[in-house]
Amino acid sequence: MKPHYTFMLAIACALAPAPGSTYARPLEIKLPQETASYKPSTLPGYHLALQNCMTCHSAQYVSTQPSTSTRAYWDATVKKMKKPFGAPLKDEDIPAIVDYLTKTYGAEQAQGTSNAAVTK
């Protein structure tokens, strides 16, 4: 009996990996959500952090800072990202970002109030 070539070709195509997709996928590194991105918040600095603080490194640097970090520490850190590190931050956005970082990751965290929406 003559083999059904069309059918076999269809199977071969279905099994063949698409170039650049199947082979590349295992190399992707997915960081856990809580360290890779910024903790959601209703504070205006949250969106500013997402826009301004993800271009060079993930939120992991932020989430590994001591939870006792003061507003002055975050202020100095954000300003350091701008200069000398070169983050394209607008000066008028810095206080909101500092406010968000201090209340979400630093010394002004209010457990159960401003972070109520954040699941740990």
Residues near ligand HEC (CB under 6 A) are: 49, 52-53, 55-57, 61-62, 65, 77-78, 80-81, 85-87, 89, 97, 101
**From the CB of 33, what's the least distance to ligand HEC, in Å?**
18
**From the CB of 94, what's the least distance to ligand HEC, in Å?**
8
Asked if 65 and 105 touch (Cβ cutoff 8 Å), the reply is: yes
Tell the residue number behind the tokens 């701008």, with chain if given: 82
**From the CB of 103, what's the least distance to ligand HEC, in Å?**
13
Q: Would you say 89 or 115 has its CB closer to ligand HEC? A: 89
Q: Would you say 96 or 114 has its CB closer to ligand HEC? A: 96
Q: Would you say 43 or 49 has its CB closer to ligand HEC? A: 49
**From the CB of 62, what's the least distance to ligand HEC, in Å?**
5
Q: Would you say 55 or 68 has its CB closer to ligand HEC? A: 55
- Rounded to whole angstroms, the Cα distance separating 84 from 21 reads 38
- Rounded to whole angstroms, the Cα distance separating 50 from 47 reads 5
